[in-house]
Structure 1
Amino acid sequence: MTRENRQTDDFNAQVLSDHQSLLDGTDWASLRTARGNGGFLPAALSRLLDPDPTVQTRAVGELEPVCHQNSFFEATLPAALYVAAILDHPATATVATGRQADPGSRYPLRAALLDWLGTLAYDADDECLALGERHFNGSYLDDYPEMRAFRDHRPAFYRAVSPFLDHVDTAVREAAIVAALPLIEHPALTHHRDELARRVRRLLATSINRHNRNRSLDALKSWGHDATALVTAADVAARVRHVHGGDWAGGCMDEPPF
């Protein structure tokens, strides 16, 4: 058995462990990231619970080597499980000052963590798998155990995300809904589709977030739902810009949206 498979077997796909147990019980220095081993991760992950929102914000950025260029590494799964395990921790209820187009904006850390998990989920969704299978003649996951491990743990991730699907904070609620969309592709979760579709429709009735709207509209279309009445002029304009080579907000974000 390879070290990768041994490491994967240490995590039960159906149970989300306590965050401190994950932190203390993982041999981070033995796990690969895009920039060497994961020896830096215990400190970075711990900083996600720091009382200073600025420190927390920086800590989210420090996780980039475990998902560099939309790829999965040995350290990706345990880092993602830790993030999932702290979603309901009181320390993740903080709000950080924005750093994107509107530097005065504020964004909940919990929403940023949900966005981060959602990005990983999209990088391991059925569409990405199908693309990989075409290039690897059906043996993609055999050669990519890190993605397989993440896909196997989608039920655990969904259980961590689902309590926030009706959260009072709009940013947290939308981030949870969008993160859940690729997770419920797991065969054990498809029965949640109708329930999630109702939430998606409510999101589309009120949201102006381009990324969230694109993900939601794509999901309804893939499920065979007629979302014509929910498509706005801005949605159409964004699609036109994409077709003509303009900016596209529907893809995964490289950075947390602070």
Structure 2
Amino acid sequence: MPHHRAILEGTDWASLATVCGTGGSLPTTLARFIDPDPVVRTAAVDDALREVTHQNTIYEATVPVACYVAAVLHHPVIAAGDSGTDAGMPPHRPTVVRLLEWLGDTAYDADDECVAISERHCGEGFLDEDREMRAFRELRPALFSAVRPLLDHDDAQVREAAFVAAVPLAEHPALATHRAELVGHARRLLATGTDRHHRDRALDAMKAWGHDTGDLENADDIAARERYARLKAERDSWWAAGGTGGYSESPPF
């Protein structure tokens, strides 16, 4: 991965499409990701990622932003965490966790399932036409290399966020050998973690990789799985009925 300054200075940001225009302001905002003041960092992360995050779309500016995020994950300011935050401030997730979460969410927006869905709707040549998604998918090995060291971080928040980001990145064929390592991290997460989203990702990954999860699920996992299945059945029924009727509750998708 190039140095973060090289990414800022070597990218023609103003020529790249974002959610509402072009990325001309991104270099200034991205540079504040490593500001010593956690308040400045938080605002910068909000502002920059908002420019490339909307309705599961990969924009032209998404790939260089992802490169920059990966390049600063281990920067001393980011690695030091936000322990110096004023005690009077409302609690917030550490910068490194927020960046990992964004990488993971974006990777899921470009994963094999999303490609398969798009190909069903747009034809098998979908990836040939979607240069932005293709570019992000090609970047996955480099992103994984940046995320991987954080899988063993001392902070459980960081470990779990790194794992959730690593799973969709590891779909790249060049990373297949790393999936066995991720299974070990999934087991660790499922043994101690309580976050519903993280547990779902871990269980889904293990099932996708051919592992039995029966001995790893707890009562909440089983209840969540049954609820998701019920909502999926209701959604399928709704589509089959031409979009009439409703759900018993809001679906998780």
TM-score by length of 1: 0.84
Q: 1:9 matched to which residue of 2?
A: none
2:23 to 15, 21, 38: 38
Q: 1:255 matched to which residue of 2?
A: none
1:24 to 9, 25, 43: 9
Q: 2:98 matched to which residue of 1?
A: 112
CA drift of 1:19 comes to 0.3
Contiguous gaps of at least 5 residues in structure 2: 232-247
**1:197 and 2:183 aligned:** yes
CA drift of 1:34 comes to 1.1
Instruction: Say what the alpha-carbon RMSD is for the aligned residues.
Output: 2.0
1:57 to 30, 42, 52: 42
Identity of aligned residues (%): 53
Q: 1:53·1:96 contact (CA, 8 Å) conserved in 2? A: no
Q: Distance in 2 between matches of 1:190 and 1:38?
A: 34
Q: 2:136 matched to which residue of 1?
A: 150
Greater CA radius of gyration, 1 or 2? 2
Cα deviation code 1:176-227 (max 9, x no counterpart): 1111001111110001111110111111000001111111111111111101
Figure out how many residues of one structure are paired with residues of the other and give that number.
Answer: 231
Alignment of 1:57-206 (within 5 A): 57-62=42-47, 63-93=49-79, 94-95=81-82, 104-206=90-192
Q: 1:241·1:247 contact (CA, 8 Å) conserved in 2? A: no
Cα deviation code 1:114-167 (max 9, x no counterpart): 111011110111000111111122011112100000000100000000010110
CA drift of 1:67 comes to 2.4
Q: Counterpart amino acid of 2:171? A: E
**CA distance change for structure 1 residues 246 and 220 in 2, over 3 Å: closer, same or farther?**
farther
Q: Distance in 2 between matches of 1:160 and 1:202?
A: 21
CA drift of 1:30 comes to 0.7
Q: Distance in 2 between matches of 1:135 and 1:111?
A: 34
Q: Distance in 2 between matches of 1:18 and 1:121?
A: 21
Q: 1:110·1:172 contact (CA, 8 Å) conserved in 2? A: yes
Q: Distance in 2 between matches of 1:141 and 1:58?
A: 34
Q: Distance in 1 between matches of 2:251 and 2:44?
A: 27
Q: Distance in 1 between matches of 2:100 and 2:210?
A: 26
Runs of 4+ with deviation above 6 angstroms: none
Contiguous gaps of at least 5 residues in structure 1: 1-15, 252-258
TM-score by length of 2: 0.86
Q: 1:47 matched to which residue of 2?
A: 32
**CA distance change for structure 1 residues 97 and 127 in 2, over 3 Å: closer, same or farther?**
farther
Task: Choose between structure 1 and 2: higher helix proportion.
Answer: 2
Q: 1:238·1:248 contact (CA, 8 Å) conserved in 2? A: no
**CA distance change for structure 1 residues 246 and 55 in 2, over 3 Å: closer, same or farther?**
farther
Q: Distance in 1 between matches of 2:224 and 2:109?
A: 22
Whose RCO is larger (CA < 8 A, sep 6+)? 1
Q: Distance in 2 between matches of 1:95 and 1:174?
A: 17
Say which SS state the counterpart of residue 152 (structure 2) adopts.
Answer: coil
Q: 1:71·1:123 contact (CA, 8 Å) conserved in 2? A: yes
Q: 1:72·1:147 contact (CA, 8 Å) conserved in 2? A: yes
Q: Distance in 2 between matches of 1:246 and 1:159?
A: 40
